[in-house]
Amino acid sequence: MSRKGQSTQQLNNSTIQQHKWAYMSLKIFLNDHLVDKNDATVSVFDHGLLYGDGVFEGIRSYDGLVFKLKEHLDRLFESAHTLMLEIPMPKDALEKAVILTLKANGLKDAYIRLVVTRGSGDLGLDPRKCKKATLFIIADKIALYPRDYYEKGLKIATVPTVRNHPEALNPQLKTLNYLNNILAKIEATNAGVDEAILLNAQGHVTECTGENIFYVDGKKLVTPPPYVGILKGITRDTVMRLGAEAGLDVSEEVFTRHDLYTADEVFLTGTAAEIVPVVRIDNRMIGSGKPGKITLALTRAFHKVTSKEGVRIR
């Protein structure tokens, strides 16, 4: 025995395994089968690339459990329906393809990116010229946010770019057209903060570039309603449920920056970020200036749920 009860043979096996993963190329699910990362290419005539014409989802698996897979697929199909984009595979086959991609890469804790584009067409924007959608699934190791984000909290700021108007490009659609969010992210970076809050054209708070926003005021837990211009986050839904279960008075309300500045606690939610405390907004300290008690309690409850609920990879 060489290390804490591990035999040399076991150590050698695990070293070999690690080397195998290091050299094995990532497998990508492309249209209907797995290919090596280097062979996972799409046409320069794909309208996903030429026009941002397509939809996507970001999904996460925790120790072999894919969290809210059905909800992510439902949202993907809903976005595609509004864009009149036909997803080239039924939902149950797509669910199997996600699991297959995770298994092929030996991943248990992963971030999964599922993308469906309009497919190849000509140089005009008419989607009727694109005969078949392109579908791909990338599953990779999850790039965790720095621990500081969760322990110290984020400094964020409102930015000049307003959230897309719902009657122009509804933020409820998770499309490949993310320039509204990218412009806001650039403005946040230029302002030296971690994240941007986008307001809508009426000055109401909507969301951040890749996360929904919540505030806590006493026993009240508040987040904006979808019609102000947000993506209806799947983490947001879970946090609203957990808040209600914890006895909080949960509501969707239209609010302004003032409500955030004067809140007891503010936090953001998203698949990649999970629940992140916010301690400063536009240079105003929020609450005590430290991650709040309710934010931390919801985070613990959220981790409990992700360790139990989900579609098992088998």
Please give the residue ranges that form the binding site for ligand PMP (CB under 6 A).
58, 181, 207, 210-212, 231, 233-236, 269-271
Round to whole Å and give the CA distance between 116 and 227.
Answer: 25
Of all residues in this chain, which one has the CB nearest to ligand PMP in the complex?
233
Written as six digits, the tokens of 14 are 């695990």
Residues whose CB is less than 8 angstroms from the CB of residue 192 and which lie 6 or more positions away in sequence, other chains included = none
Cα 214 to Cα 210, 278, 301: the distances in Å are 14, 10, 16
The residues with which 261 forms a beta bridge, in sequence order, are none
For residue 242, the minimal CB distance to ligand PMP (Å) is 13
Contact of 157 with 197, CB cutoff 8 Å: yes
For the chain, what's the residue count?
314
Q: Which of 174, 185, 232, 290 is catalytic?
A: 174
Q: Which is nearer to ligand PMP, 101 or 181 (CB)?
A: 181
Active site residue 20: no
Round to whole Å and give the CA distance between 85 and 68.
Answer: 23
Q: How many Cβ atoms sit within 10 Å of the Cβ of residue 297?
A: 14
Catalytic (active-site) positions: 174
